[in-house]
Structure 1
């Protein structure tokens, strides 16, 4: 449909000093999903401003929810068992996480000395432990955002990467599942896992306003 004026802001659509155009129908649908009063169309002048203002609010809400989610994901169990007994669960899919960190000159020196003396390098051990913690956090977050509340069949691997440059890679992979929380194994975690699921649902309900097509 051709418009002489924007149905929303009523500004002229053509003229010597204007470059206004009507945004796409899909963008109009997105705007009308959160803007009131609704309009049959928006021009790039008013529509983009509406989206930009909403995006600030949405990004703030997302950041707040992600912060809450990260405080709750510790309740998600990570186990190596493939089929836990008495768990009634739905498989969501394979998830993985990686951590890559430099061992550093002092770490290499410490490791070489420990190797020479037959001892253990606490510096390198801490690097490995830190890599594991990072992977666990990433794995739990991915699981939660996929609607899961447990990770089974978990495997962990270690390797050196970077062609001898002292880069340590820790990889973890497992299967994200959604477990019915009427199981005694989850008694102490049920409340936190239910709250986690609620926060993820709120996050997923927020509109995605990052697509560049909305602004054209």
Structure 2
């Protein structure tokens, strides 16, 4: 772990696990979708760290953020192939399941919508939220196995109980190259 000791201009003085103090400069700050700001740091000793608002982040968190960032570029298609690309490597099927509670207001909104024959905005919002989260997690799983795309993606929706919705996303992770 890297511990902030002081600051000299745009440089930070930090103590590393190697028990030495290093003068390190923060790289460009990156912000995650959740609003978490971080900046990568590489010490003279070669250790990689992340500084966040003057605090340190464990190296495992760096790896998670790197995978999450890389997963944003993963191509997801429902077709059995991505046209214009050549499949270099296939991996085993991956899936992601998201179960989401609907909540009292969603249930009430759905009952009113059912009575009047209209759409339930709250239920639709919950389904969209679960779908987006499931696809995001599927992309992360693809990156973790070494893929850069997912082909044959399928999304299924299920009602587990009256108050629980489930979204299941499956696909085959592959390594693609422009043909």
TM tier relative to shorter chain? 0.5 to 0.7
Instruction: Describe the SS at the equivalent of 1:129.
Output: helix
Q: Is the 8 A contact 2:67 2:144 kept in 1?
A: no
Give the structure, 1 or 2, with the largest relative contact order (CA under 8 Å, sep 6 or more): 1
Question: Could you tell me which residue of structure 2 aligns to residue 126 of structure 1?
Answer: 125
Q: Is the 8 A contact 1:93 1:177 kept in 2?
A: no
Q: Is the 8 A contact 2:70 2:143 kept in 1?
A: no
Give the Å deviation of 1:63.
Answer: 1.3
Give the Å deviation of 1:87.
Answer: 1.9
2-structure distance, mates of 1:161, 1:110: 19
Instruction: Describe the SS at the equivalent of 1:84.
Output: coil
**Residues 48-67 of structure 1 correspond to what in structure 2 (within 5 A)?**
60-67=58-65
1:75-122 Cα deviation digits (max 9, x unpaired): 101110012233211111200001101111111110011111111111
79-88 vs 105-114, which moves further: 79-88
**Residues 11-90 of structure 1 correspond to what in structure 2 (within 5 A)?**
60-89=58-87, 90=89
Structure 2: 5+ residue runs without aligned partners?
A: 1-48, 50-56
Question: Could you tell me which residue of structure 2 aligns to residue 173 of structure 1?
Answer: 170
Give the Å deviation of 1:60.
Answer: 2.4
- Count residues with an aligned counterpart: 123
2-structure distance, mates of 1:85, 1:156: 21
Question: Could you tell me which residue of structure 1 aligns to residue 154 of structure 2?
Answer: 155
1-structure distance, mates of 2:92, 2:72: 20
Give the Å deviation of 1:65.
Answer: 1.8
Tell me the TM-score normalized by structure 1. Answer: 0.54
Structure with greater proportional helix content: 1
Structure with greater proportional strand content: 2
Deviation beyond 6 Å, 4+ runs, structure 1: none
Structure 1: 5+ residue runs without aligned partners?
A: 1-56, 184-216
2-structure distance, mates of 1:105, 1:68: 37
